Amino acid sequence: MAETATLWAPRGAWAGIAQAGQIGATGPAGVTATLLDGFGLATLIAAPGRTTALSQAVEGRLNIALPTTPKVVSNATHDAIWSGPEQWLLRAATRDGFRGLLEALATQAAVSDQSDARAAIRLSGLPVRDVLAKGVMLDLHPAAFAVSDTALTSIAHIGVHLWRLADGPDGSVFEIMVARSMVGSFWSWFAASAAEFGCRVSTGRG
């Protein structure tokens, strides 16, 4: 019997679900949604008694410290995102060299590559909090949720990891990470919630 080779083309987490363009109200968009793709992502869980060593290893290689409270610490190419006591997400803007980095950190932590398991989106605009308030049960007022704060929460009963970035020219900026299996449900909620403000959708690198 002849063997047939099957080639699977890589697909981004947003493929077939969301695309660049405008959704909702016409005219100037109040909200901008950037669909992020191409990033490297891994969970880090410090081995017993190795938290300090892990933090030193990350800082030595990336020049960022692992946060010990619900914060995000970033440089130009990497983010360390608190996800629980002695647990973090480590995100790289690209996957170049990411596997080697994870192998080096595996001596200090349980490391699991999640690069193809999560989807990420960046939201900005003056009404962005009004959009998020339709599904997020947290107080996202600037006085309560500062730049670099992060939270594990839910949006419309979908588990998400949410954090706030430095404000941009069009207002506050948030990033949301969701399990890839729930991207369709998340986008359905978001598109409906942002429609009244008009939303410009673009794509970008992680």
- pLDDT per residue as tens digits for the range 139-154: 999 999 999 999 999 9
What CATH number matches the domain at 21-37+117-205, 3.40.30.10, 3.40.50.1000, 3.40.190.10, 3.30.1360.120?
3.30.1360.120
Pairing, β 118-124 against β 72-74: unpaired
Give the pLDDT mean for 47-60.
96
pLDDT at 4 > cutoff 90? no
In the chain, CATH 3.30.70.1520 covers 40-113
- pLDDT per residue as tens digits for the range 135-194: 999 999 999 999 999 999 999 999 999 999 999 998 999 999 999 999 999 999 999 999
C-alpha distance from residue 162 to each of 28, 44, 107, 132, 176 (Å) = 26, 18, 29, 11, 4
Q: Comparing C-alpha atoms, which of 88, 116, 134 is closest to residue 183?
A: 116
What CATH fold (topology level) applies to the domain 40-113? Alpha-Beta Plaits (3.30.70)
Q: What is the distance between the alpha carbons of residues 116 and 95, in angstroms, rounded to a whole number?
A: 11
Beta strands in 85-170 (DSSP E): 87-92, 109-113, 118-124, 150-155, 158-168
In the chain, CATH 3.30.1360.120 covers 21-37+117-205
Tell me if residue 159 falls in helix, strand or coil.
strand
